[in-house]
């Protein structure tokens, strides 16, 4: 089972398309598994698709609650996430598609991202929303209030210290 919501590029000819996406329980469970989460209690995205050059522009917002394991206490905890969705894509073979070798030669961090290249004549908006969610998930989650309190042993006993004590006569 996979969560998808395909929009064909020709559907945008009549104007912007607005969608509210919300996977059902089984789809959220599958997404949680794919994203390495304990669970995904909620996930919604409000997106607008507009024609852009010979492709599509996808903008919007998503909101989610993810359940992860705290890296400090190992306790499960839920964390709300939200973010912006902003993507441009063109069909393969488009004159506006950037060749992979051209994108590696000049790197301008202030320049807009090159458009994504679609596999066919449709875009999977659910996959776009999932990708943006994945970018917001903390790879090192920490439960609010969890602290790492390490105290080294008062007296470290190395193997060499033990050998030294055996060699020295007592008394």
Residue % of the chain over a pLDDT of 90: 61
Cα(138)–Cα(70) distance, integer angstroms: 10
Q: Of 75, 63, 65, which Cα lies nearest the Cα of 142?
A: 75
Banded pLDDT at 1 (limits 50, 70, 90): low
pLDDT at 8 over 80: yes
Higher pLDDT, 146 or 157: 146
Mean pLDDT of 75-88: 96
Helices (H) and strands (E) in the chain, counts: 4, 7
pLDDT of residue 171: 55
Query: pTM for the complete prediction?
Result: 0.79
Mean pLDDT of 55-66: 97
Listed by start position, the domains of the chain span: 6-167
Higher pLDDT, 129 or 73: 129
Token match 């441009």: residue? Answer: 88
End-to-end CA distance of the chain: 75
Lowest mean pLDDT among 21-30, 85-94, 108-117, 148-157: 148-157
Banded pLDDT at 9 (limits 50, 70, 90): very high
Start-end of H helices in 9-158: 25-35, 100-105, 125-136
Q: Provide the token pair at 148.
A: 């790492």
pLDDT of residue 25: 96
Count CA atoms closer than 13 A to 91's CA, side-chain side.
12
Cα(130)–Cα(30) distance, integer angstroms: 12
Residue 152 CB: number of other CB atoms within 10 A? 6
Residue 138 CB: number of other CB atoms within 10 A? 11
pLDDT tens digits for 83-142? 999 999 999 887 777 765 554 556 667 777 788 999 889 999 999 999 999 999 999 999
């Amino acid at each position: 089972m996979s969560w998808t919501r395909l929009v064909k590029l020709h559907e945008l000819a009549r104007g912007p398309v607005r969608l509210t996406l919300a996977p059902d329980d089984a789809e959220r469970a599958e997404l949680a598994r794919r994203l390495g989460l304990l669970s995904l209690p909620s996930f919604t995205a409000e997106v607008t698709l507009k024609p852009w050059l010979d492709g599509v522009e996808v903008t919007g917002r998503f909101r989610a609650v993810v359940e992860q394991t705290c890296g400090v206490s190992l306790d499960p905890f839920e964390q709300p996430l939200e973010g912006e969705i902003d993507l441009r894509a063109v069909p393969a073979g488009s004159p506006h598609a950037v060749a992979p070798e051209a994108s590696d030669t000049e790197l301008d961090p202030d320049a807009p991202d090159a458009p994504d290249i679609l596999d066919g004549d449709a875009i999977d908006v659910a996959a776009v929303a999932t990708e943006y969610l994945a970018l917001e998930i903390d790879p090192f989650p920490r439960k609010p209030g969890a602290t790492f309190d390490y105290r080294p042993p008062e007296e470290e006993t190395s193997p060499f210290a033990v050998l030294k004590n055996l060699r020295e006569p007592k008394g």
